[in-house]
Each structure stands twice: as structure tokens, then as C-alpha cells.
Amino acid sequence: MPTISQLLEEKTAQAIAAVTGAAAPALVQPTANPQFGDYQANGVMAAAKARKMNPRTLAQQILAQLDPTTIPATWDIAGPGFINFRLDPVWLGRTIAAIAADERLGIDSVSQAETIVVDFSAPNIAKPMHVGHIRSTIIGDALSRVLRFLGHRVITDNHVGDWGTQFGMMIVGYRTLLNREAFADDPLAEMERIYKAVQAQGKADPAVAAQAREELAKLQKGDPENTALWHEFMAVSRQAFDRVYARLHVGFDHWLGESFYNPMLPGVVQTLQTKGLARLSEGAICVFYEDDPELNGTPFIVQKQDGAFLYATTDLATIQYRVDTFHADRIIYVVDSRQQLHFKQLFAAARRWGYAPQLEHVGFGTILGEDGRPIKTREGEPIKLAALLDEAEERARAIARDKNPSLSEDELAAIAHVVGIGAVKYADLMQNRLADYRFSWDKMLALEGNTAPYLQYVYARIRSIFRRGELEDWQPTLGMDVYLRAPEELDLAKQMIRFGDALLEVERTNKPNILAGYLYDLATKFNLFYQAHSVLKAEEEARSTRLLLCHLTARYIHKGLELLGIETLEAM
């Protein structure tokens, strides 16, 4: 079924066109203040301005065109020309009864499904994942889940950094500095140590730097020993990454790293030159943007003077592959906002080349400590992601043990995992991704406020209602009568039917915080309803309606958190 916003938008836009003779958007959105109704159409103002009409007069003419038999609401004019809609409670009751019988909670698959590649996480091989990887990983995963649920064909790709100059240093370090016991115990930490050591040596001693370049050149030419070491670095890195991804419940369809595209790079540069899109400049081959005021003056280098290729070349080959092989309609890159210029140049070059899917850079800000500075260890190093998750689970375990000392160790471990990992994820996803945010353990693990534990607690509280009433298997009956009489019942039902609009807005903006905000508002409205009205002790007519409201709230919270990659618990 269409969302209520889509229905009101469609009918109001038709009325505007009937009066003005021209198509114009109705711009329907929920009202900021419920006293003015449930939804408001703002498009009349712009339509009146374009025709030099009095907006209130135009609004009156538009109202005359609205058909009450096709719109489940009453309406009136507010201010200079806003149209306010108030939903019909009877229609609302029938609608949530129908939603309750639908596995997809009333959400239709999109009419025009697209093939969407989502590129996210992308750690570097031979280096531990750190806190800086978490935003890309969980934002990308949440977007992928929402887009799949809406009916798109989503292809997730972990474009790992598995090729480049660091491997020459790694090979030198492996042969000269490796601690075998440390490598067996924690291979990524040991590889990071020897990489830093060789990097420092190379800065002090040109001979070490030259040796690293020589080993890299041998690797790039296919030297068997260096290639075997590279495969070993890849294998132990993948194992370590998979352990972190398993804890986060994140998976990928492909792991096509930079090395996968290496054989294609000479052809990419040659094609760009042949088409006149790239040219030689001071020994390097570059794409220039003389016709683009924003990018002019910043060349996009695709091959250096020494013949080496760059990220730009690899990223162009990646777009070519994703369009030619996956037939991508959209490609979404979840990469921090500092890479904004690179992606503007990349997308402009790809379009000139003739590869023109919808290309989107989903940027995000930085995680800050409570002091307002980028979050790091006391030694000034990036916090390892595994260590962050360990601390999240340990803190959640301590809170659960304090609240319920009778829990077994297995029960504590299960709660700690779901609550701790969920808290870390939600604390990030509830933010506007473009903004920096301050990381606070106390806030993210709180059982009150806009947190994952709060939403998980509301879900568990609802499930406890059904257990107390010995109604664990309760299901709404098809076509059941629903009576929404109390203001809190109406408010809760109205929030429920905004789920589809929230998901479509996530798709449009690539902002998971819209879904998080929807869930927080839903949980808050449920608590207001539950505090005002009994459920199990209500008279039968009200009881069945209230059980339905509880049942649906739990389903919406469960599905919404699932789309954010967060688990729920039946009891907390």
C-alpha cells in the first residue's frame, strides 16, 4: 500500500494541477505541531507565487477539487495558504489492522527496483581495524539493509586496501624484524609494528627505503616469494576482519580490493588518453576540468611520472567494472567527508568517460572523545575496533549484573553482546552522519533517552506484557475491529504508519538517523500510551485494540532495529 504521505501528495498535486493547469508538487509532510493536524501541504504557496495569485484563494480552489471518498482525512486551510489534513480514526484503525496481517508491515517494494552497489568499510590489509572504520561499516550496512528491504538489488563490496607501497615495507619488515611468537598471537598487531618500524628506518636510511621499493617492484612483477607473503598477509587480515564483522553482524557480497583492479589500470589510462579525457602534464597523466569552475585548477592524476597508478585510476576501473559486470544503476560510497574532493573529481571523470550511473558519496564526520577531540588512546594512537567492542560488552555486562545479580554467565554474555554492540551502533546511527559527534559510554548505554538500550528495553517490556497475560502466541485476527479513541492510542497508531515514509527518506538522503528518530518517537509514544492505559485489565473491546497496538509496536521496533543492524532481546 502507498504511504499516507504518498497518497496525500498524489491527491493534492492532482488538485493543484486541475486548478492551475500545470503540474506542481504538493510538498506534504507531517505537521510540526499536532494541534494543526497530522499532515500539511505546503506546495500551494509556491504554485500561487508562480502564478501571482493569492495563496489562500488558490488553496480554497484546490480544496474544492479534493475528493473526500479517496482521502481518509478531513482538511482545512491554515495561515496564508497551508492545507492541513487530519486522519480519520476509523480509517486509521482499519489500516493498522491490515498492517498487522502483513509480513512486511504494510511496506510495498519499490515499483522500479535498481541495482545498487554499496561500497563501505574498506580497511587496509595488514593493519588492525580501528575506531575510524566503525562509521563507514555500520552506516553502509544499515543503508544496505534498508535498500534491500525496499526491494532493490543491493550488492555490498568491501573494497579493501590490499595493494600499494606499504607492502614493500611489510615484506622487508617480515624478513628482518618479525617476532614469530607475537605474529602467531596477534598477526595484525605485529604487522603494524614492523610496518611502522621499517617506515621509520626508511626515513632515516635511504638504503632501507630503496630496499622496500625493490621488494614492492618484485611483488608487482609477480615474484613467487613476495607473492606468497602477500597472500599470507591477506589471509591473516581477512581472518581478523571477519571476527570483527561477525561481532557487528555485518557481511559483504564481495571483497574486491585494489589488487583486483590492478590488471585493468593500463587500459583505463590508455582509454582516457585515446578519448582525449586525459593528457600528459609535467610527466604525469591527468584529467583536467577547465570547464568546471569548482574543480578547475585541481588535476585528477591517473598515472604518476614514474608510471605508478593511483587511487584515482583504481576507482575509475572500479566504476567501469561495477557498471559493466554488475549493471549498477547506483553506486554509493560510504567514505568520510574528508574525501569529498576526490569523489567530485572521480564522478566528473567517470561521467565524461561515459559511465553515468547515479554516483553518490555518503560522507560522514569524525568520532570525538568527550573532550571534543578525535577519539584516541591515552598514548595518542587510534583505538582498535575490537578493543572498543570488548569494552562495550564489558560495560553492558556490568550494568546487567548490577540490575539482576541472579543472571547466569551465559545469560550475562548474551545480554552484554546484544546491548553493548547495539549501543555502539545506535550511538553512531542516531546522529546526522555529516556531523562530528562525542562518544560517551554513559549516554549510549543509558536505559533512558535516545539509545539502543532504551529501544531494546521497550521491546522487551512489550514482550513481557504478553508473557504476563499468558499470551505469548497472541496474534491479531484478520479484519478485527480496532477502536482508537484515546489520544495516546491515536498518536501511537499515527506514528506507526509513518514507518514507510521514514524508510523512503532514508533511501532519498542516505541518512539512517531518520529511521533511528522514527523508532525513538515510536517508543516514546508507546510509553505515553502504556502509562495512560491498562492493557491486560482493559475491557474486551479496548483490550484487543491495545494488544494490537502493543503487538505492532514490538514488530516495528524489531524490524526497525534489524534494519539498523541491531538485535533485540525478549527479556532484559
Q: How far apart are CA 81 and CA 45, in angstroms?
A: 6
Residues contacting 455, CB < 8 A, separation 6+: 426, 519, 520, 523, 557, 561, 566
Question: Model confidence at 509, in pLDDT bands (50, 70, 90)?
Answer: very high
pLDDT at position 266 over 80: yes
Q: How far apart are CA 372 and CA 168, in angstroms?
A: 37
Q: Does residue 529 belong to any structural domain of this protein? A: yes
Q: Mark whether 457 and 548 lie in a shared domain.
A: yes
pLDDT at position 112 over 80: yes
Which single residue is written with the C-alpha cell 569524525?
366
Q: Mark whether 170 and 73 lie in a shared domain.
A: no
Report the 10 Å Cβ neighbour count for 133. Answer: 20
pTM above 0.85, yes or no: yes
Using one digit for the tens of pLDDT, what is the confidence trace for 238-263? 999 999 999 999 999 999 999 999 99
- Mean pLDDT, the chain, integer: 95
Say if CB 174 and CB 229 are below 8 A apart.
yes
Using one digit for the tens of pLDDT, what is the confidence trace for 84-93? 999 999 999 9
Question: Model confidence at 164, in pLDDT bands (50, 70, 90)?
Answer: confident
- Taking residues 318-337, what's their average pLDDT? 98
Q: Amino acid identity of 26? A: A
Q: Mark whether 456 and 553 lie in a shared domain.
A: yes
Q: What is the CATH number of the domain that holds 496?
A: 1.10.730.10
Domain boundary among the residues 87, 110, 126 is at 87
Q: How far is CA 381 from CA 132, 166, 373, 375, 376, in A?
A: 11, 19, 13, 9, 5
Q: How far is CA 543 from CA 13, 93, 99, 298, 551, in A?
A: 40, 14, 18, 67, 12
Domain boundary among the residues 26, 54, 87 is at 87
Which residues form the domain of 229? 166-246
pLDDT of 370 reads 85
pLDDT at position 1 over 80: no
Q: What is the CATH number of the domain that holds 83?
A: 3.30.1360.70
pLDDT at position 516 over 80: yes
Q: What is the DSSP letter of 71?
A: -
Say if CB 491 and CB 528 are below 8 A apart.
yes
Q: Does residue 224 belong to any structural domain of this protein? A: yes
Residue 255 is inside which H or E element, if any?
A: none
Say if CB 27 and CB 41 are below 8 A apart.
yes
- Taking residues 286-314, what's their average pLDDT? 91
pLDDT of 35 reads 87
Find residue 333's DSSP bridge partners.
119, 361
Q: What is the DSSP letter of 445?
A: T
Q: How far apart are CA 535 and CA 532, in angstroms?
A: 10
Q: Does residue 467 belong to any structural domain of this protein? A: yes
Q: Does residue 329 belong to any structural domain of this protein? A: no
Q: Does residue 214 belong to any structural domain of this protein? A: yes
Q: Does residue 397 belong to any structural domain of this protein? A: no
Q: Going by DSSP bridges, is the β-strand pair 330-334/358-362 parallel, antiparallel, or unpaired?
A: parallel
Say if CB 391 and CB 377 are below 8 A apart.
no
Pure H helices in 327-408: 340-353, 385-403
Domain count, the chain: 3
Q: How far apart are CA 518 and CA 497, in angstroms?
A: 11
Q: Does residue 336 belong to any structural domain of this protein? A: no
pLDDT of 199 reads 94
Report the 10 Å Cβ neighbour count for 267. Answer: 11
Q: How far apart are CA 375 and CA 377, in angstroms?
A: 7
pLDDT of 413 reads 95
Q: Mark whether 459 and 559 lie in a shared domain.
A: yes
Using one digit for the tens of pLDDT, what is the confidence trace for 113-149? 999 999 999 999 999 999 999 999 999 999 999 999 9
pLDDT of 478 reads 86
Using one digit for the tens of pLDDT, what is the confidence trace for 453-493? 999 999 999 999 999 999 999 999 988 999 999 999 999 99
Residues, the chain: 572
Which single residue is written with the C-alpha cell 529501544?
455
Considering the chain, what percentage of its residues have pLDDT values greater than 90? 89
Say if CB 549 and CB 493 are below 8 A apart.
yes
Question: Model confidence at 340, in pLDDT bands (50, 70, 90)?
Answer: very high
Domain boundary among the residues 189, 223, 246 is at 246
Query: Which segment of 165-169, 231-235, 449-453 scores lowest on mean pLDDT?
Result: 165-169
Q: How far apart are CA 133 and CA 364, in angstroms?
A: 11
Among 168, 227, 179, which residue's Cα sits nearest to residue 202? 168
pLDDT of 291 reads 87
pLDDT of 115 reads 98
- Taking residues 220-236, what's their average pLDDT? 95
Q: Does residue 141 belong to any structural domain of this protein? A: no
Using one digit for the tens of pLDDT, what is the confidence trace for 354-406? 999 999 999 999 999 888 888 887 777 789 999 999 999 999 999 999 999 99
